[in-house]
Amino acid sequence: MRCKEQRATRMIMQVHDELVFEVPEAEVDWVKGEVPRLMAGVAELKVPLLAEVGVGPNWEQAH
């Protein structure tokens, strides 16, 4: 699935079960809504898949 809108947000790394994005301030709200929605739909399981979003200037502070 491709986004019709061009975004400046970029996934910069994956660490185990975490994805790290570089996100312009103007796209933070969009990412906080879209990433969990997309992640929850990647597989059909008997239990729901949940994705949490943390925001901060670096990976440590986003936890």
pLDDT of residue 54 exceeding 80, the answer is yes
Q: Residue 1 has what pLDDT?
A: 46
| Cβ-based neighbour number of residue 31 at 10 Å | 16
Share of the chain above pLDDT 70, in %: 94
SS3 (DSSP) at 10 = strand
Instruction: Determine, yes or no, domain membership for 21.
Output: yes
Q: pTM of this prediction?
A: 0.79
CB 24 within 8 A of CB 9: yes
**Higher per-residue pLDDT: 6 or 4:** 6
Domain coverage including residue 33: 10-40
pLDDT of residue 3 exceeding 70, the answer is no
**Higher per-residue pLDDT: 18 or 5:** 18
pLDDT of residue 50 exceeding 50, the answer is yes
Instruction: Determine, yes or no, domain membership for 46.
Output: no
Amino acid of residue 56: G
Q: Count of domains in the chain?
A: 1
Amino acid of residue 49: L
Q: 34, exposed or middle or buried, with CB in 10 Å at 0-12, 13-18, 19+?
A: middle
Instruction: Determine, yes or no, domain membership for 57.
Output: no
